[in-house]
Structure 1
Amino acid sequence: MRRTVDWADGAVVIIDQVALPGAYRTLELRTVDDLVGAIQRLAVRGAPALGAAGALGVALAAFAGDNVQAEAERLATARPTAVNLRWGVTRALGKLGEGPEAVLAEALAMLDEDEHLNRTASGHAADVVLRETTRRPLRLLSHCNAGHLATVGWGTALGVVWHLHERGLVESVLVDETRPLLQGSRLTAWELAQAGVPYRVQPDSAAALAMSRGLVDCVLVGADRIAANGDVANKIGTYGLAIAAAHHGVPFVVVAPESTVDASIATGADIEIEERRPSELTRFGDARIAPDGAEVFNPAFDVTPAALITAVVTENGVRTPQPTS
């Protein structure tokens, strides 16, 4: 698979994730407006991929000669929960004084780093999974999409599956369908099928039952922001999944690059939670599935307390949470 986010002929090139699994296509984004729109409609998504896209967006603005600082802020706030987006924008912006080519070079360096960092983080996490479990081969549970599509290449939580599958240690993966836009059943299932890994899609609400029946040896998830104390913001439903895992004694492992750690945030209570459009819940395609005028609560993320997490793993290994004062 090509890179999820790349640069070619003066444009940001992305795999269009809202088209999958029905169609595999790429989009060329030549303006900051185009990129912001793609980020907000989830055509490009996943914390590491957003960091790379944000950096390349700064390069777009720099070459266009726009008000780069203002355009960078638009990019950084296009989705508020994932810290990697602002991290990528800030890192690229730091090269602005050296000219547009330097901004682009920094962004491209981030692309090159991404796959190495995620391979390393997921390799560390695979070792954690093997230490925390006894059954072989493993039955794993995945929530949302934390694979190749959520990064520039390889993946975070799903990268663990690739490591273990290469060693013949994966029996199957249970894939939560995952709101918003069913990113598990559309994207994670597609990636697993491409890789030849056995899987089953399930509704999010079936995860606790699967654990109670002994069908899950370990839960693997990514992260969009990690607070200093180890609380983790991830796709909506992760918190409930962690509660069920704790009740059933199932290890719960979070995998993310260090850039997802926000040391300025003491606890998860300080993390802004994005809310999505009501129509994502009230409509299915062109059909209305809720009454006219129905009020909607549609958060895209939730926060899982550190106490419910077996390990948070980055390219530097297992992180030690910093206690709040």
Structure 2
Amino acid sequence: MSLEAIRYANGELSIIDQLLLPHQTVYIRIASCEEAWSAIKRMQVRGAPAIGIVGSLAMAVELKSPDTLSQVDSSAKLSAWLGAKWDRLVSARPTAVNLQDSRERMFRLLSTDWSAMDVAGQRLAAVEWLESQLEQDVRSCRAIGEAGANALLQSVEERGLVPPGGQVNVLTHCNTGSLATGGYGTALGVVRSLHNRGRLGRIFCTETRPYNQGARLTAYEIVADGLPGTLICDSMVAAAMASGRVHAVVLGADRIVSNGDTANKIGTYQIAVLARHHSIPFFVAAPLTSIDFSMRTGSEIVIEERPSDELACVAGQRIACRGIDIWNPAFDVTPAELITAIVTDTGVVPPNNVAALAKKLGAEQG
């Protein structure tokens, strides 16, 4: 049973405050889009799918409130209200595509399926659609987990990295489990599926400096689920691969573009380079909605830069020399040619064939 990081029932939303993990497991209530924006910006919730879900559910909460009902008494006012709320939420973490994707899908429905409804019907349809995003994400993650496990096992056996039916050691970076999604996880969902089949030897998670999502969050999930896991710092990846401890890499994505280039947590690119050097398969696992077909290459992706204190300080204590300049990008872009395959909820494709998913995405969005 994976962790329940997002709770929603009867119009009330709460999330685990990930800033307090792993020492405390505390749920905080999110009662408005502005509170969601703050939680996303402060990284009390993070992970591209989870960001999209929390944004959607916060909007559902606010749409149900009496104060909002009095503000959106016409279709035009509802559309303007939704647009303003989505724009605000998207501004919290611009690199992750999921919030923008949800915005576009909702407005597509507003102009097609919901266009003939009166404002009350549109509000109800909007709330139901927003609330459905949590359950949809869990289904998506389980599909990613099964497809990814199949592809990963086939790849490592074909390369002779493990014998047929043998156990596989997987390395992951950052956090892609229940804390980053609606539940189960994307890349960590693949790991969970391997474990459920008895095929997981060990999961290596990187510390993921400077914010330590691996040490704080992925390690927390590994321990909570009873998975065989080992924590390493980011600079140990090459040594782990060279020693034969790692058979495959699987991690997530905040944005995948048309040519297969992928933005993910800073440090991903160097792991991809190391995996290529050691002939280790490198998989990206993400829902179809993380693919941004409006961008042709990774050079177009806006990379968020985080506050310098995240790099200079640990647990509120400064460890860096004062006066030194600090560059703290939250993400990097891995070129498509370094990726073995991209695992989505609708199947597995080589990165140079991401465009083949465009029709599936259009059907999903419709």
Q: 2:91 aligns with which of 77, 88, 93?
A: 77
Deviates more, 1:176-185 or 1:215-224: 176-185
Q: TM-score, normalised by structure 1?
A: 0.94
Q: Is the 8 A contact 1:157 1:256 kept in 2?
A: yes
> Which residue number in structure 1 is paired with residue 300 of structure 2?
270
* SS of corresponding position for 2:329: coil
Residue 56 (str. 1) matches residue 42 (str. 2) = no
Please give the residue correspondences for 1:255-294 in structure 2 after superposition, counting only pairs within 5 Å: 255-294=285-324
TM-superposed CA distance for 1:92, in Å, is: 4.2
TM-superposed CA distance for 1:61, in Å, is: 4.1
In structure 2, distance between residues paired with 1:285 and 1:110: 34
> Which residue number in structure 1 is paired with residue 364 of structure 2?
none
TM-superposed CA distance for 1:323, in Å, is: 8.5
TM-superposed CA distance for 1:237, in Å, is: 0.2
In structure 2, distance between residues paired with 1:70 and 1:237: 34
> Which residue number in structure 2 is paired with residue 43 of structure 1?
44
* SS of corresponding position for 2:302: coil
Q: 2:225 aligns with which of 195, 203, 207?
A: 195
In structure 1, distance between residues paired with 2:103 and 2:172: 29
In structure 1, distance between residues paired with 2:155 and 2:97: 29
> Which residue number in structure 2 is paired with residue 5 of structure 1?
6
Structure 1 residues 153-200: Cα deviation after superposition (integer angstroms, max 9, x where no partner): 110101111111111111111110113420011111111111111111
In structure 1, distance between residues paired with 2:349 and 2:59: 31
Q: Is the 8 A contact 1:61 1:68 kept in 2?
A: no
Q: Is the 8 A contact 2:33 2:55 kept in 1?
A: no
TM-superposed CA distance for 1:2, in Å, is: 5.4
TM-superposed CA distance for 1:294, in Å, is: 2.2
Q: Is the 8 A contact 2:285 2:342 kept in 1?
A: yes
In structure 1, distance between residues paired with 2:3 and 2:227: 19
In structure 2, distance between residues paired with 1:183 and 1:92: 31
5+ residue gaps, structure 2, are 72-80, 356-366
> Which residue number in structure 1 is paired with residue 78 of structure 2?
none
TM-superposed CA distance for 1:322, in Å, is: 4.9
Residue 234 (str. 1) matches residue 231 (str. 2) = no
> Which residue number in structure 2 is paired with residue 101 of structure 1?
124
Q: 1:113 aligns with which of 136, 153, 175?
A: 136
TM-superposed CA distance for 1:9, in Å, is: 4.7
Query: Sequence identity, in percent?
Result: 42
5+ residue gaps, structure 1, are none
In structure 2, distance between residues paired with 1:313 and 1:286: 38
In structure 2, distance between residues paired with 1:252 and 1:269: 21
* SS of corresponding position for 2:179: helix
Deviates more, 1:93-102 or 1:72-81: 93-102
In structure 2, distance between residues paired with 1:24 and 1:220: 27
Deviates more, 1:249-258 or 1:91-100: 91-100
In structure 2, distance between residues paired with 1:317 and 1:69: 32
Structure 1 residues 103-143: Cα deviation after superposition (integer angstroms, max 9, x where no partner): 22111211111111111112111011111113121111010
* SS of corresponding position for 1:148: coil
Residue 218 (str. 1) matches residue 241 (str. 2) = no
Query: One-letter code of the match for 2:313?
Result: R
Larger Rg, first or second structure (1 or 2): 2
In structure 2, distance between residues paired with 1:173 and 1:317: 23
Residue 182 (str. 1) matches residue 196 (str. 2) = no
* SS of corresponding position for 2:22: coil
The count of residues paired between Structure 1 and Structure 2 equals: 324
In structure 2, distance between residues paired with 1:285 and 1:125: 35
In structure 1, distance between residues paired with 2:214 and 2:315: 18
In structure 1, distance between residues paired with 2:34 and 2:130: 18
Deviates more, 1:161-170 or 1:248-257: 161-170
In structure 2, distance between residues paired with 1:234 and 1:225: 7
Deviates more, 1:141-150 or 1:287-296: 287-296
Q: Is the 8 A contact 1:4 1:153 kept in 2?
A: yes
Q: Is the 8 A contact 1:54 1:88 kept in 2?
A: no
